[in-house]
């Protein structure tokens, strides 16, 4: 996919309101980091009050995944999760617009040697990530240390798509954006020894998934991780990131490559992935993207786990 380029159409009046919003966001993002954390938490508190559907989805997910917690504990976790989501809004802008040296000071990276070793050996890497609220800034910070390509879905708004892609790709001067459905393109890059960010932790429908447990619940889990690793002759390297509670930045961890992967069956691989997902989420559950209906798809005959959206 070619690099994003400015187009004259972006000056059309229909984009003026978005330009205004982006300009205001750019101004706010110039504030000190700790101030942005505070503003983000306030934004998250407001979202908690007005985003009723998303709040109910997140609350239901926490109820399903943490039945051992009390209702009071889950509500506290829910509010913290919305605070983290509010902060993520400014982390996105920081990733796009902060000077690279300023952004780099927030990174605490562990395990970079695993990516470097794979690169030396000419092996492709599936950088297996998760949908944490910190995913945007995590990818940006890692991109300053090692070139990573990313799965990409074009945004419906042309201007926002341009700003988003330019902001993401500036940290990797030779990175490539791969359309999410471009399987051949992804395999070609893996065979060429490149590292591709990929997150297998969402519900993409039963058609391309199998059901294996996640937090004790049968969850539709994509088998693509195994297929990409096998056909792309690539390593699967887990990657996690965490916003540090002391306000010093982010802990990025590149874990050792999975051994004996792919395994004997897709079921074994998917269960192994879900066990890793669960363990990683339990380490900082308040920073996970709980507003996604992870258990939307159900095995035949099982009831729906979410209430219908309210109009």
Domain assignment present for residue 295? The answer is: no
Residue 148: phi and psi, rounded to 5, are -130, 140
Structural contact between residues 281 and 238, judged by C-beta atoms closer than 8 angstroms: no
Q: List, for residues 8-47, the tens digit of each pLDDT value.
A: 999 999 999 999 999 999 999 999 999 999 999 999 999 9
Domain assignment present for residue 298? The answer is: no
Domain assignment present for residue 302? The answer is: no
Q: List, for residues 257-309, the tens digit of each pLDDT value.
A: 999 999 999 999 999 999 999 999 999 999 999 999 999 999 999 999 998 87
The structural domain count of the chain equals 1
pLDDT at residue 168 in the model: 79
pTM of the model: 0.92
**At 88, which CATH number?**
3.40.1130
Q: List, for residues 82-120, the tens digit of each pLDDT value.
A: 999 999 999 999 999 999 999 999 999 999 999 999 999
Domain assignment present for residue 301? The answer is: no
> Does position 183 have pLDDT exceeding 90, yes or no?
no
Domain assignment present for residue 226? The answer is: yes
How far apart CA 285 and CA 92 sit, in angstroms, is 20
Orientation angle between helical segments 183-191 and 224-231, nearest 10 degrees = 50
How far apart CA 189 and CA 133 sit, in angstroms, is 27
What range defines the domain where residue 198 resides? 10-287
Domain assignment present for residue 297? The answer is: no
pLDDT at residue 310 in the model: 67
Domain assignment present for residue 310? The answer is: no
Domain assignment present for residue 308? The answer is: no
């Amino acid at each position: 996919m070619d690099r994003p380029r400015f187009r004259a159409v972006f000056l059309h009046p229909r984009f003026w309101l978005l330009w205004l919003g982006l300009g205001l966001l750019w101004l706010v993002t110039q504030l000190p980091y700790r101030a942005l954390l505070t503003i983000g938490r306030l934004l998250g508190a407001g979202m908690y009050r007005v985003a009723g559907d998303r709040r109910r989805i997140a609350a239901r997910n926490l109820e399903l995944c943490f039945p051992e917690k009390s209702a009071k504990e889950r509500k506290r976790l829910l509010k913290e999760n919305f605070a983290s989501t509010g902060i993520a809004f400014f982390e996105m802008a920081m990733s796009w617009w902060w000077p690279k040296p300023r952004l780099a000071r927030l990174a605490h990276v562990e395990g970079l040697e695993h990516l470097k070793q794979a690169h030396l050996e000419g092996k492709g890497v599936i950088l297996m990530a998760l949908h944490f609220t910190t995913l945007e800034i995590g990818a940006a910070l890692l991109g300053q240390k090692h070139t990573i390509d990313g799965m990409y879905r074009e945004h419906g708004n042309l201007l926002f798509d341009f700003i988003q892609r330019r902001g993401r790709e500036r940290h990797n001067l030779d990175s490539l954006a791969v359309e999410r459905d471009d399987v051949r393109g992804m395999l070609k890059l893996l065979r060429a020894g490149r590292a591709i960010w990929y997150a297998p932790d969402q519900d993409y429908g039963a058609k391309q998934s199998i059901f294996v447990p996640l937090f004790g619940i049968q969850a539709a889990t994509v088998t693509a991780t195994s297929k990409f690793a096998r056909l792309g002759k690539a390593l699967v390297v887990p990657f996690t990131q965490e916003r540090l509670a002391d306000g010093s930045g982010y802990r990025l961890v590149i874990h050792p490559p999975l051994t004996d992967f792919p395994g004997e069956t897709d079921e074994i691989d998917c269960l192994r992935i879900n066990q890793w997902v669960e363990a990683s989420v339990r380490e900082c559950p308040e920073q996970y993207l709980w507003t996604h209906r992870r258990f939307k798809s159900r095995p035949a005959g099982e009831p729906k786990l979410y209430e219908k959206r309210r109009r």
